[in-house]
Every structure is written in C-alpha cells, then in structure tokens.
Amino acid sequence: MGSYLRTTVLLAAMAAVFMGAGYLLGGIAGALIALAIASVMNLFAYWNSDKMVLRMHGAQEVGPEAAPELHRIVADLVQNASMPMPKVYVMDNAQPNAFATGRNPSNAAVAATTGLLNMCSREEIAGVMAHELAHVRNRDTLIMTITATIAGAIGMLATWALFFGGNSRNNAGGLIAAILLAIVGPIAAALVQMAISRTREYAADQGGAEISGQPLWLASALEKLEQAAHQIPNEEAEAHPAAAHVFIVNPLHQRSIDGLFSTHPNAGNRVARLRQLAQEWGHPTGRLQPYETIFGGASIAPPAEPGFSGPWGSASAPRRRGPWG
C-alpha cells in the first residue's frame, strides 16, 4: 500500500473515530455537531496554524543578508524541485532540529535551529532542508494540521462525554458508552495521528533524497540529530508537546523506539532505508558527495553577528533578541 493510500485510510479512520464519538455522545445530532465543530477548528487551523507553530517555538524570519548560507541552500533545493521559495526561519535553540509549516507550497516556511546550523555540515543541512521541502511539496503540513485538530476535538468530546454522556440517555448503556468514549476515544485518535505522522516522515525522507539527489546527506544528518536530541533539551517543544510531530526528529526526551506511541519512525530504520536507496541509485556509501559538486559554488561567509561565533552563530550563546531569536 502506497504512502498516500495509507494516509487516506488513516485520515478516514480518524474521521470515523471523531464521528463515532459524536454519535455516542448525542446520537445523529451529536455526530452532526461534532462535524460542525471539526469544520470550524480546521478552518481556523488552515489559516493560522503556521503562525502559531512558529511563534510557540520562537522562530524568527531571516533574510539572505542575515543567513546567506541557509538561504542559498534552500534556494538551490527549491530550484532543483521546481518549487516556490518558502520563507526561512531560525530558532535560537541548541538542539539540532528543523520543521516545515504552511498551508500550501505557495505559503510555506522552513525553520532550522541554531543547533542544526552549528552542528551539521552543509551537506547534512541540505539533506534536512530537502526533507522539510518534501513535506511542503507533499502538503504534509496541512495533513498534520488536520489530524492534530481532529485529535484535539476528539479529546474535547471525550471530556464532554464524562459530564453529559450519561445524562443524554436514561439508561446504563448510555453511561457505559460515555465512559468508553472518554477512555478509548483519545487513545484511538492518538494512535491514528501517530501512524499518519510516521507514514509521512518516511515519505518525506524519500522525497527529500529525490530533491537533493543525495540520500546519504539526510542519513548522516539523522544519525547526528537523533543522538543530540536526547542529550540537548528543547524547552519550547517540552512546553508544547502536541506540536512535537512537526520536527524532523522527536524533540522530546522520550524513547526512540519505533513503538506504538512514537510520533516519529525509529531513526535507525529511516537511515537504513536511505542507505538502501543510495545503493539502489549507485551512490558510493563510504563518504558524502561534497555540496559543491552537486550544486556548485563556494561557501558564503555570513556577516558577523554580535554574540555569535562561527559561520552560523553559537548555539551556546545566551538567548537574545534579533534575527536569531
């Protein structure tokens, strides 16, 4: 089953759980009310989710003058993929990570942490940005917004069920159904949401490899990011765990196994798939092809930034206002 078909099936399952929750809570009328609530929430999320995610993680938009190297990498990749140029953001965060957001390719943004920019090579940064651009091209950002919104709505309905479900029917069956909804509904929604997230991550890994033409760039970055993410905390992500699924690797301090409740595929599985893809494409597996041999040009030295050292700035520098956060 292809990734798009799996995603469609999982989205249908999410919708079925939501409509079923509404029905158990209030019969046919409850199902219709649930549908109306979901529609309003999704409409709001469609127009505002990108701004909300960027704001909660302290992302600051940067132009080519402030981040010429990052801008050039993104520009090279979008030209390769025949995509519109997204807005580029940087988060002043020591954990190496990145995400994409936006309702469509024409209204998209990619965001990278200063930890990613300082810890990774140009090739690895390009691999990560290509992965995020694949999410944009596949419209995964919209899909994940819809699933997160419906999952939140199911949780809300489950709460209502505890207070109103038993009273909506004058029999023991209504009370039992309300209790089951309160327990099973959020768990089922979370499982479907996580399954969709894992499916889209695998698809974006392959799409990113196609955009950059170098699967090993992303494979090398994933190995580095996964290890660092468990050592370097991400306070913003810990404060907003519901948005953890947007990052390329799990920003939370949790087990990295490919388990039932994991929002991300196991990094080892992802790296293995990328290395297999590189072999199928006939790429040498012992080293990374230099960025210049693929896209040409030399590295651009960005202007000096007060309080930052190195080509990208120092991830260990104190947090400050300005183009980096």
For 270-318, how does the pLDDT look when each residue is reduced to its tens digit (9 = 90+)? 999 999 999 999 988 778 999 998 887 655 544 434 333 334 444 333 3
In angstroms, the CA 131 to CA 121 distance is: 15
Structure confidence at residue 21 (pLDDT): 72
**Alpha-carbon distance values, 286 to 53, 91, 265, 277, 294 (Å):** 38, 32, 24, 14, 17
Region 52-56: mean pLDDT is 87
What span, in angstroms and rounded, lies between the C-alpha atoms of 6 and 287? Answer: 34
pLDDT at 7: 62
242 in Cβ contact with 183 (< 8 Å): no
> What pLDDT, on the 0 to 100 scale, is given for residue 37?
76
Cβ 109 vs Cβ 100: under 8 Å = yes
Q: Are 124 and 226 in contact (CB under 8 A)?
A: no
Question: Residue 131 has what pLDDT?
Answer: 97
**Where in the chain are the domains?**
52-143+188-295
d(C-alpha 317, C-alpha 309), whole Å = 9
Beta bridge partners of 110: 88, 100
Where is average pLDDT lowest: 21-25, 158-162, 217-221? 158-162
Q: What is the average pLDDT score of the chain?
A: 79
Answer whether 60's CB lies under 8 Å from 50's CB: no
Predicted local confidence at residue 309, as pLDDT: 37
d(CA 201, CA 322): 32
| 104 has pLDDT over 50 | yes
Nearest in space to 150 (alpha carbons), one of 189, 184, 188, 181: 189
Among 2-16, 29-43, 232-246, the range with the most confident prediction by mean pLDDT is 232-246
Q: What whole-number distance in Å separates Cα of residue 321 and Cα of residue 325?
A: 5
Contact 223, 127 (CB under 8 A): no
Q: Where are the alpha helices (H) located in 213-252, listed in sequence order?
A: 215-229, 235-239
d(CA 194, CA 183): 18
List, for residues 187-216, the tens digit of each pLDDT value.
766 777 677 778 889 999 999 999 999 999
Percent residues over pLDDT 70 in the chain: 73
* Model pLDDT, residue 147: 72
200's CB contacts (< 8 A; 6+ apart) are 3, 7, 135, 138, 140, 143, 144
pLDDT at position 51 is 87
CA distance 130 to 201: 12
Residue 31: pLDDT band by 50, 70, 90 thresholds? confident
CATH 3.40.50.460 fits 52-143+188-295, yes or no: no
Q: Is the pLDDT of residue 1 over 60?
A: no
- Give the list of residues 6+ apart from residue 77 with CB closer than 8 angstroms, or none: 126, 129, 130, 133, 211, 212
Give catalytic status of residue 201 as yes or no. no
The two structure tokens encoding residue 216: 């090993």
Out of 123, 132, 226, 305, the active site residue is: 132
Which letter does DSSP use for residue 97 in this model? -
Q: Cα–Cα–Cα angle for 34, 36, 39, nearest 5°?
A: 110
The b/e string for 238-269 (b: 16+ C-beta within 10 A; e otherwise) is eeeeebbbbbbbbbeebebeeeeebbbbbbee
> What is the reported pLDDT for 315?
38
The pTM assigned to this predicted structure is 0.78
Chain segment 71-97, per-residue pLDDT in tens: 999 999 999 999 999 999 999 999 999
